[in-house]
Amino acid sequence: MQDRSLPTLEDIERARERIRGSALYTPLDYSETFSRLSDNEVYLKLENLQKTGSFKLRGALNKITVLAESGTLTGVVAASAGNHAQGVAYAARGRGVPCTIVMPEGASLAKIMATQRYGARVVLHGDDYDAAYGHASEIAMREGLTYIHAFDDPDIIAGQGTIGLEIAEQLPDVSAVIVPMGGGGLAAGIAIALKSLRPGVKIYGVQAKAVPAFRHALDLGAIETVPGEPTIADGIAVRRPGVLTFEAAKRYIDDVVVVEEDEIARAMILLMERSKLVVEGAAATTIAAVLGKKVPAGLGKVVAVLSGGNVDVVVLSRIIEHGLVESGRYLRLAVTIQDRVGALRDLLDIVARLRANVLTVHHQRVGSHIHLGQTEVEIDLETRDHAHIRLICDTLRQAGYEPVIRD
Residue 314: which pLDDT band, with cuts at 50, 70 and 90? Answer: confident
Query: How would you class 254 by CB atoms within 10 Å of its CB: exposed for 0-12, middle for 13-18, buried for 19 or more?
Result: middle
Answer whether 403's CB lies under 8 Å from 357's CB.
no
Which residues make Cβ contacts (< 8 Å) with residue 36, sequence separation at least 6? none
Percentage of the residues of the chain whose pLDDT score is greater than 70? 98
Q: Of 159-168, 228-237, 313-322, 350-359, where does mean pLDDT reach its minimum?
A: 313-322
Task: Tell me the per-residue pLDDT of 3-43, one tens digit each, with 9 for 90 and over.
Answer: 569 999 999 999 999 999 999 999 999 999 999 999 999 99
Q: What is the pLDDT of residue 367?
A: 65
Kindly state the average pLDDT of the residues 136-151.
95
HEC letters along 93-157: HHHCCCEEEEECCCCCHHHHHHHHHCCCEEEECCCCHHHHHHHHHHHHHHHCCEECCCCCCHHHH
* More confident call, 321 vs 249: 249
- Model pLDDT, residue 348: 94
Which residue from 379, 347, 349 is spatially nearest to 361, judged by alpha carbons? 379
User: Which one, of 81, 86, 82, lies nearest residue 61 by Cα?
Assistant: 86
**Residue 109 neighbours by CB under 8 Å, 6+ apart:** 312
In one-letter notation, the amino acid at residue 160 is Q
Identify which of 57, 65, 58, 49 has the alpha carbon closest to the alpha carbon of residue 86.
57
Rounded mean pLDDT, 112-119: 92
pLDDT tens for 339-369 read 889 989 999 999 999 999 999 999 887 666 6
Q: What is the mean pLDDT of residues 138-156?
A: 95
| Per-residue pLDDT at 407 | 78
Of 200, 214, 210, nearest in space to 249 by CA? 214
Q: What share of the chain is helix, strand, coil (3-state, %, to 5)?
A: 45, 20, 35
Report pLDDT digits (tens) over 77-89: 999 878 999 999 9
Q: Give the residue-averaged pLDDT of 254-269.
A: 95
| Between 41 and 111, residue with greater pLDDT | 41
Does the pLDDT value for residue 201 go beyond 80?
yes
DSSP letter (8 states) at residue 6: P
Spell 111-143 as b/e; 16+ CB within 10 A means b. Answer: bbebbeebebebeebbebbbbbbebbeebbeee
Give the CA distances from residue 34 to residues 23, 29, 42, 216, 272, in Å, rounded to whole numbers and listed in that order. 27, 11, 6, 29, 12
Active site residues: 56, 307
The pLDDT assigned to 3 comes to 54
Q: How far apart are CA 107 and CA 71, in angstroms?
A: 33
Give the span between the Cα atoms of 83 and 345, in whole angstroms.
Answer: 51
* Complete domains list, the chain, with CATH: 9-54+153-320 (3.40.50.1100), 75-144 (3.40.50.1100), 329-405 (3.30.70.260)
The secondary structure of 197-220 as a DSSP string is H-TT-EEEEEEETTS-HHHHHHHH
In SS3 terms, 353-365 reads as HCCCEEEEEEEEC
pTM: predicted TM-score of the whole model, two decimal places: 0.87
| Cβ 218 vs Cβ 31: under 8 Å | no
Q: Are 245 and 157 in contact, with CB atoms under 8 Å apart? A: yes
Q: What is the pLDDT of residue 368?
A: 60
The answer to whether 101 and 44 are in contact (CB under 8 A) is: no
Specify the 3-state DSSP secondary structure of 68.
helix
For residue 213, report the phi and psi dihedrals to the nearest 5 degrees.
-60, -45
Angle (CA) 272-270-37 rounded to 5° is: 140
CB-CB contact of 266 with 274 (8 Å): no
